[in-house]
Amino acid sequence: PHSRAWWKEAIVYQIYPISFFDSNGDGIGDLNGIHSKLDYLKDLGVDVLWLSPIYRSPLADMGYDISDYRDIDPRYGTLADWDNLLKGVHDRGMKLMMDLVVNHTSDEHAWFQESRSSKTNPKRDWYIWRPPKYDAAGNRQPPNNWKSVFQGSAWDYDEKTDEYYLHLYVSKQPDLNWENPDVRQAVWELMRFWIDRGCDGFRMDVINLISKVDGLPDAPIAIPDEPYQPASMYFANGPRVHEFIKEMNAKVLAQKDLITVGETPFTHDASQLAAYVLPANKELNMVFHFELMDIDAAMGRDHSPLIPRDWKLSEIKDIVGRWQKYKRDEGFWNAIFIENHDHSRSVSRFGSDSERWRATSAKMLAILEITQSGTQYVYQGQELGLKNFPRSWGIEEYKDVASQNYWNRVLQHRKQEAGGAEVDMSDVLDGFQRKARDHARVPMQWDSTVHAGFTTGTPWMRVNEDYEHWNAAAEIADCTSVHAFWKEALKIRKANDILVYGDYTDLSNDNEQIFAYLRTLGKSKALILLNFSTEESNFSLPAHGDAEWTGFKCVLSNYNSTTEELEGCAIVLRGFEGRL
Ligand code: TEU
Ligand code: CA
């Protein structure tokens, strides 16, 4: 069995600061706003807060573009406000995790300003600069064909020195050159800055992208007739990444009992990600894999996750099962999440956000989450069953640069093809309504007053229309709410080691309506039954060793009338029913 650790048992709550709570009426969430909601979080059962970036930033990618790692963006507050927030967190017995974004900086960071100033500047080599290539016609071209994750070339030309710099994300996010030991040293120092100030851990943004393949070769053609190609095979889990993270561990992380989680996209292969996590390697506590999150993305021609794809329950089971069972004997540890700031709302994706089923399916998904082995993550508003904003909202409500860039790209393409005729973009907006990151970024819904009580001013993003009934105050007052259910579910998880540490066995195989699994720890057993459809569904539990399916007591159910005990192996579950 797994060794115990506080961070394995912790409930982590992700805060997207700009949309959490605005304390001073400027329409932007801030640190003092978070401070004023600490009792709410403690009451919910949260142990650790993870703050999405709050450092100084031009917000080209909402703070994932940092211009000063050692200061708070004035829109969010000051270092003194951060100290005060940390004190409030610690006073309540909770911990605080920071977002560490060090694959790239902002182009407005002093390091990049120096780096771009001349080829001989000492910081020139802190970023990835290459001379242009010239095609047969003599036209200047980027050094290779890599496509930025957010569309277009991954290279930008800088006239001043007649070279290109690499940016895997937007132009305003130049990639740091981790090959340079001074860069690594600077990262260790900024990490120590926050550790010395009292921070309890880090979520590490795209940490598996920091080492690029030598020579930066052209990527194979995956998108025909396009100049720029997806190149993650050359920048994800690159040749020196484990060396760099081991160095980080030895030089920084090992000094304190921190919680560390790496964000590791572009990789579904558990054996690759295990290398970051297995305790023997001395790297990170855990990583976020995106195999489940990617399940409803078609990717398509432009290689964008904004095109939806229909999934089957058997695919979810396959993913959950494989990761639950992966290398447990060697200490592999999972991070369990179904929402974050990069994905639309789980009830809209995996449940049903219709009035009839919304609360029921959001609760069913809560059971799915709290009954998996791993550290539990909850994203702000998930505990309220918040859903995607409606299809009637136009493109102007989508503020995310990923949405905007993709929209503009498709629009341009279609305009060219139409040769002046009107173009129809409704299918793209259909996709956005299901898949855009924006849905997770609208203001948190606190109460039924104007702007959902998020701000007394004008919110930076429009508030979803359902806030009158779907808000924290209303749900706290209602013992049948999604919030009340999450609170109970987290209590049950904390009181039962089996849910954190137990082994996993799937019981339902290819059934496309019902997901049933067993968790075991020593002599204890936990049985989980989930119906992923609106239909009443039947199911027969398979033979289970020498034991009978009797004596299981229902400890959590999303229906208020439920049989107290399981009798025999015939199971009937109502629409979206979930039972533990
Ligand atoms: O996300 C990593 C990432 O690759 C995302 O682009 C993800 O694939 C995409 O959002 C799916 O739609 C991290 C941050 O979480 C994200 O907010 C940043 O935009 C990105 O890194 C760049 O820092
Ligand atoms: Ca504010």
Nearest alpha carbon to residue 144 among 157, 133, 156: 133
pLDDT band for position 20 (cuts 50, 70, 90): very high
ipTM of the complex: 0.97
Mean pLDDT on 549-553 = 85
The CATH class for the domain spanning 10-97 reads alpha beta
Closest ligand to Cα 25:
2
How many helices and strands, by DSSP H and E, does the chain display?
Answer: 17, 21
32 alpha carbon, closest ligand: 2
Ligand 1 atom closest to 437 (CA):
12
The token duo for 54 is 């709050």
Pick the CATH number of 110-166 from 1.20.1440.230, 3.40.50.620, 1.10.340.30, 3.90.400.10: 3.90.400.10
Q: What is the pLDDT of residue 151?
A: 87
174 lines ligand 1 (CB under 6 A): no
- pLDDT of 235 above 80: yes
> What is the Cα–Cα distance from 501 to 139, expressed in whole angstroms?
59
Mean pLDDT of the chain: 96
Q: Distance, CA 75 to ligand 2 centroid (Å)?
A: 6
Q: Could you tell me the fold of the domain covering 503-579?
A: Immunoglobulin-like (2.60.40)
For residues 312-343, one letter each, b for 16 or more C-beta atoms within 10 angstroms of the residue's C-beta and e for the rest, the string is ebeebbebbeebbebebeeebbbbbbbbbbbb
Distance CA 505, CA 518 (A): 5
> What 3-state DSSP class applies to 418?
helix
Taking residue 130's Cβ as centre, other Cβ atoms within 10 Å add up to 14
Q: How confident is the model at residue 1 (pLDDT cuts 50, 70, 90)?
A: low
Phi-psi region of 59 (alpha: psi -120 to 50; beta: other; left: phi over 0): left
pLDDT at residue 574, as a whole number:
96
Task: Check residue 420 and give its pLDDT.
Answer: 84
Portion of the chain with pLDDT greater than 70, in percent = 99
Residue of minimum CA distance from atom 11 in ligand 1 = 342
Pocket of ligand 1 contains residue 383 by CB under 6 Å = no
Question: Which residue CA neighbors atom 9 of ligand 1 most closely?
Answer: 342
CB 279 within 8 A of CB 328: no
**49: nearest Cα among 35, 62, 63:** 35
263 is catalytic: yes
Sorting pLDDT into bands at 50, 70 and 90, what band is 543?
confident
Q: Does the C-beta of 437 come closer than 6 Å to ligand 1?
A: yes
Contacts of 421 (CB under 8 A, 6+ apart): none
Give the confidence band of 566 by pLDDT, cuts at 50, 70, 90.
confident
Report d(CA 223, CA 205) in Å as an integer.
Answer: 27
Q: Which ligand is nearest to the CA of 148?
A: 1
What pLDDT sits at residue 545?
65
SS (H, E, C) 498-560: HHHHCEEEECCCCCCCEEEEEEEECCEEEEEEEECCCCCEEEECCCECCECCCCCECCCECCC
Would the CB of 205 count as within 6 Å of ligand 1? yes
The strand pair at 163-166 and 129-130 is best described as antiparallel
The answer to whether 36 and 81 have CB atoms below 8 angstroms apart is no
Ligand 1 atom with minimal separation from the 104 CA: 23
Compute the radius of gyration of the chain from its Cα atoms: 24
What is residue 547's predicted lDDT score, i.e. its pLDDT? 67
pTM of the full structure: 0.98
Q: Is the minimum distance from the CB of 406 to ligand 1 under 6 angstroms?
A: no
Nearest CA to ligand 1 atom 16: 342
Mean pLDDT on 223-230: 92
pLDDT of residue 318: 97
Angle at 378 between CA 376 and CA 384, to 5 degrees: 140
- Does 488 qualify as catalytic in the annotation? no
Q: Please work out whether the CB of residue 27 comes within 6 Å of at least one atom of ligand 1.
A: no
The answer to whether residue 17 scores a pLDDT higher than 60 is yes
Residue 154's Cβ-count burial label (10 Å; 0-12, 13-18, 19+) is: buried
pLDDT digits (tens, 9 = 90+) for 443-492: 999 999 999 999 999 999 999 999 999 999 999 999 999 999 999 999 99
> Which of 31, 11, 10, 12 is CA-nearest to residue 22?
31
Q: State the pLDDT at residue 569.
A: 86
Ligand 1 contact, 169 CB (< 6 A): yes
Q: How far is the CA of 256 from the centre of ligand 1 (A)?
A: 28
**Ligand 2 centroid, distance to 402 Cα (angstroms):** 24
Q: In the predicted model, what is the mean pLDDT of residues 301-330?
A: 94
What digits encode the pLDDT tens for the residues 334-366? 999 999 999 999 999 999 999 999 999 999 999
Q: What is the atom index within ligand 1 of the atom nearest the CA of 101?
A: 23
In this predicted structure, what is the pLDDT of residue 549?
84
How far, in Å, CA of 353 to CA of 119, rounded?
Answer: 55
3-state secondary structure of 332: coil
Q: List the catalytic residue out of 30, 47, 200, 263.
A: 263
Question: What is the Å distance from ligand 2's center to 22 Cα?
Answer: 4
DSSP state of 314: H
Catalytic-labelled residue, pool 99, 205, 438, 466: 205
Where exactly are the structural domains of the chain? 10-97, 110-166, 503-579
For ligand 1, is residue 342 a contact (CB within 6 Å)? yes
Task: Tell me the pLDDT tens digit for each residue of 372-407.
Answer: 999 999 999 999 999 999 999 999 999 999 999 999
Tell how far the Cα of 343 is from the centroid of ligand 1, in angstroms: 9
> Which atom of ligand 1 is nearest to 401's Cα?
19
Ligand 1 binding pocket mutation candidate from 342, 398, 407, 432 (most atoms within 8 A of CB): 342
Angle between helices 181-197 and 79-91 (to 10 degrees): 60
Q: Is the predicted pLDDT of residue 565 greater than 90, yes or no? A: no
Is a pLDDT exceeding 60 seen at residue 546?
no
For residue 300, what pLDDT is reported? 77
